[in-house]
Chain A
Amino acid sequence: MTPPRKPKIRIKFNKAGKVRFVSHRDVARLFERALRKLRLPVAYSEGFSPRPKLSFGLALSVAHESDAEYLDVELNELPDVEDLPRLLSEALPDGLNVVAVLPLEPGTASLQQAITSCTWRIEVLGAPQDEVTAAVAEILSSSELPQERVRKGKSTVADVRPAILDIEVEGPTDHGVQLVANLSTETISLRPTELVGLLGIDELEEGRVRRTHQWMTVDGIRCQPVSPPDSSTRHELRRAS
């Protein structure tokens, strides 16, 4: 007999300002502390060293910001989620802000499994806009982009072109050029920092980078992890006031 499934909630939060320098692992610890501060009935793992059952989506690199981070929490019982965005935000450091909390349907796929791509705002510094635009056009017109990768200590060459779903040159910023890119997170994935390298411009540096969306596909429809496809709020977030 399998034990009854425990309820889960999905938390959407953003990360901006000074806290963007806090690592993914440390963010997990901050959430553990925040959940304990609120005395939420978080489920713990069994065994000698019980840990709260938290599962994060894709890690965000240190120094990158985000409007769309997600975290699933397993609980012994479902709390009232209405006030949770505000209460959690208060319990977290400035810059980590919970924008939505939703109960999850039993059997919902994990974030790690479900996310297929992310949209990024990437600022590049050190090259004029037309040079950046030309480099982007070249990447988008290429049929393959072999990249050396080290996996389990072995160096392999992978074609990362399929991971680039879209890149748009939005325009100038105060210090550089703003790109908006949609990058796959599936089998072949690509990180924003790698994309900046792929542009092939010497002296080009990464400025501010911000993840704006994480996307999943349900029944062929692209949606975000806090908006279930059969809900009328499909493409919108339920925001805290």
Chain B
Amino acid sequence: MSTVWPQLEPLLPRVQKPARYIGCEDGARSKTPDPELVSWCFTYPDTYEVGLPNQGLQILYEIVNERLDARADRSYAPWVDLEALMRAEGIPLFSVEHHTPGHEFDVLAFNLSAELTYTNLLNCVDLAGVPIRAVERGDHHPLVMAGGHCTYNPEPLADFLDAVVMGDGEEVVGEITDVLARYKGDKVATGAWDRHAILADLAQIDSVYVPSLYEMAYDGPRVASLHPIASAAPPEIGKRTVADLADWPYPKQQLAPLTEVVHDRLNVEVFRGCTRGCRFCQAGMITRPVRERPAEQVRTMVADGLARTGYDEVTLTSLSTADFSDIESVVTGIMDDGESTDGEDAGCGPISVSLPSLRVDAFGVGIAAQLQRAKRSGLTFAPEAGTWRMRQIINKLIREEDLYSAVEAAYEQGWSRVKLYFLIGLPSETDEDTLGIAELAKNCAEIGRRYTKRASVTASVGGFVPKPFTPFQWFGQNTSVELQRKINLLRDTTRKMKGVNLKWHDPKATLVEGVASRGDRRIGAVIERVWRNGGTFQEWSEHFDLDLWLDALSAEGLTVEDTVYRHRAEAETLPWDHISAGLHKDFLWQDWQDSLAEVGLEDCRWTPCYDCGACTGYGIEHVVASATPPAGGSQGTGQDLSSGGAVPVTLLPSRKAAEV
């Protein structure tokens, strides 16, 4: 395999932050580029700073590199300055380990965590010297694959991807490598392999979707049907779920980069899945069931990771992290491990632990206080909606008094700034619900002023995108005009409120997120047009351009009304109906009806099963370390938590069913 380093090196003094392109991270696997090995290039379609910390990509990178018959490098989207120089000099997309050209790999595998990066995926494939459309690729080209949360609706990218992995990738990446290894000999000998045969084999792997083996038929704006056109293709593609995180203590060597990146600290995943049942939350729905990592393993991964990298900060990652069983003793253990035996500074300085999300109750604040002994500047809560009616609809059952007691506890413990996250454009939302956001913020600021004159509350509002595989998938997204009207309403109302600041996400970007996450296969041509017209880095506000998207939609004869704004009916075929996230469609529909009836649904970790399908269909169950619900209540659900221990909760994964 070759390297572009000699051509790249003289360009680097001319670009911003050149350290993004040199690799050399602590933890990088510099496996010799032996042409006999199945080679993966794991690519994040955004800048190095954004992509490097991605844990999914790092996990698969390690798993592949541990194999004797395969190797993996990583790649990231070059920033626009370097891209221009690369195109002028004819330098292809390269991996950061060996600066191997992208087209020399067997697989270009993308992590898709945000819809606005889709045009960057096309740009990376093109820069790698590979045709962007799967149908135009030949037997000597790499396979282009993707995984990650966005792929639960793979259709907008179906024309560009050879294969898509649904769900947890730890096992599937090995099974794909096994298939490729069988064909690798041909490629070594002749420089080409039979991609049609490979794709047929890949389609046999559970949870691998090969879009070219399926055809979509349309009925006006709707999908009429989506069906396999090859015998190798299963009618429904399920998701893969790793039953026990204890078997996968990855990344074992988290990458510590030479240059600053977002989340520049150690990250340890403490559990996957969430059963709080917030109806707007795609992550919670598609990652069920809850699978906790054993507390002892968490502690070891943290201690080893800190010692190996020299980081002094660790984030325990998951959804709703404070729900981790016995989180208090885990946190205390980590803080204790950071101190020497005599209790004095062990020479590493203070260790800090952070949680990405905080529960809206005093318990959450108590944990935060324990973690952040110093530097108490800002604390973030996510009540998500302004009125109790609205929070019942979205099943985020936080009572007003829960929020106020949490905020009070925060100010009492010395924090002076509180940030509140809200969604606007939720189902059946009225202006009263929207204005409830301002009311909550105002009341929180008033509580704060009892403790400090500097008390401030920032209300951060984002437009809601109804995502696939949530109970809201049938709901028509608010128009960008309507979202802007609601933002203006809030802006005008909060302007006079003392200590209240309002921040908002651009409703135009929300619209495009809707197009890319809710569209069918026809959106592929739109994405290609936007890319051809220079629309890369669309998630960066300085590069985002709504007109590129609207022009492309109209050129393809599509409208935002049909794609995003219209409500969908129960009988309608959704563009992602051939995919399964494990959730029964009738469960989601029932939950949607319950939502409109303002009926909440309790967390199933401590109640009987609702048969959503996430466990039963896969022969697995929740894996929690403790049958006792978390201390401090369940976000005001009114749930009788004292009965928690009586509910049968399985402490270990049920492997029997998986073996059947």
Contacts and interface: CB of A to CB of B under 8 A. Distances in A.
Interface in A3-52: 18-19, 21-23, 25-26, 29-30, 32-37, 39-42, 44, 48-50, 52
Nearest to B18: A21
A29 B26 CA distance: 13
Interface in B372-391: 374-376
Interface stretch (B173-181, B228-236, B252-260): B252-260
A228 interface: no
B24 A39 contact: no
A22 B21 CA distance: 10
Query: Among the interface residues B309, B345, B376, which one has the most CB atoms of the partner chain A within 10 A?
Result: B345
Contact of B13 (A29, A35, A63, A94): A63
A40 B375 CA distance: 24
B21 A21 contact: yes
B348 interface: yes
Nearest to A44: B349
Contact of A18 (B24, B348, B349): B24
Interface residues of B, number: 29
B349 A42 contact: yes
Given A37-B308, A41-B345, A48-B375, A22 B12 contact: no
Contacts of B350: 44, 50
A50 B259 contact: no
Contacts of A36: 310-312, 347-349
Contacts of A35: 310
Given A22-B259, A36-B312, A62 B18 contact: yes
A76 B347 CA distance: 8
A77 to B, nearest CB: 9
Contact of A48 (B310, B312, B374): B374
Given A33-B311, A50-B349, A62-B18, A19 B258 contact: yes
B349 A22 contact: no
Nearest to B23: A18
A19 B307 CA distance: 23
B346 interface: yes
Contacts of B260: 25-26, 29
A3 to B, nearest CB: 16
B59 interface: no
Nearest to B13: A63
Contacts of B308: 37
A162 interface: no
A21 B311 contact: no
A21 B82 CA distance: 14
A195 interface: no
B24 A95 contact: yes
A50 B309 CA distance: 19
Nearest to B307: A37
B19 interface: yes
B380 to A, nearest CB: 19
A100 B259 CA distance: 25
A30 B312 CA distance: 12
B256 A33 contact: yes
Contacts of A95: 24
A48 B377 CA distance: 10
A39 B348 contact: yes
B347 A26 contact: no
Contacts of A21: 12-13, 18-19, 21-22
B8 to A, nearest CB: 10
B18 A63 contact: yes
A91 B310 CA distance: 9
Interface in B343-368: 345-350
Contacts of A94: 24
A103 interface: no
A9 to B, nearest CB: 14
Given A18-B22, A22-B19, A52 B307 contact: no
A93 interface: yes
A36 B18 CA distance: 26
A23 B22 contact: no
Contacts of A22: 19, 22, 258-259
Given A33-B310, A93-B24, A40 B347 contact: yes
Contact of B259 (A23, A32, A37, A49): A23
A23 B24 CA distance: 14
Nearest to B376: A48
Contacts of B349: 36, 42, 44, 50, 52
Contacts of B13: 21, 62-63, 206
Interface in B445-500: none
Given A22-B258, A63-B12, A32 B310 contact: yes
A16 to B, nearest CB: 12
Nearest to A47: B374
B211 to A, nearest CB: 38
A41 B18 contact: no
B348 A26 contact: no
A51 to B, nearest CB: 8
A19 B22 contact: yes
Interface in B43-78: none
A144 B579 CA distance: 75
Contacts of A93: 24, 26, 258
Contacts of B12: 21, 63
Interface in A118-174: none
A29 B256 CA distance: 11
Contacts of A25: 260
Contacts of B26: 33, 93
A195 to B, nearest CB: 16
Nearest to B5: A18
Contacts of B311: 33, 36
A11 B562 CA distance: 65
Contacts of B17: 23
A147 to B, nearest CB: 22
A52 B22 CA distance: 27
Query: Among the interface residues A36, A39, A40, A52, which one has the most CB atoms of the partner chain B within 10 A?
Result: A36
Interface of A: 18-19, 21-23, 25-26, 29-30, 32-37, 39-42, 44, 48-50, 52, 62-63, 76, 91, 93-95, 206
Per CB-CB distance, the 6 closest pairs between chain A and chain B, nearest first, are: A33-B310, A21-B18, A63-B13, A37-B310, A41-B347, A36-B310
18 contacts: A21-B12, A21-B13, A21-B21, A22-B259, A25-B260, A36-B347, A36-B349, A37-B308, A39-B348, A42-B349, A49-B374, A52-B349, A62-B13, A62-B18, A63-B13, A63-B18, A76-B345, A94-B24
Given A33-B311, A39-B347, 11 more contacts: A18-B22, A21-B18, A21-B21, A22-B22, A22-B258, A35-B310, A37-B310, A40-B347, A44-B349, A62-B18, A63-B12
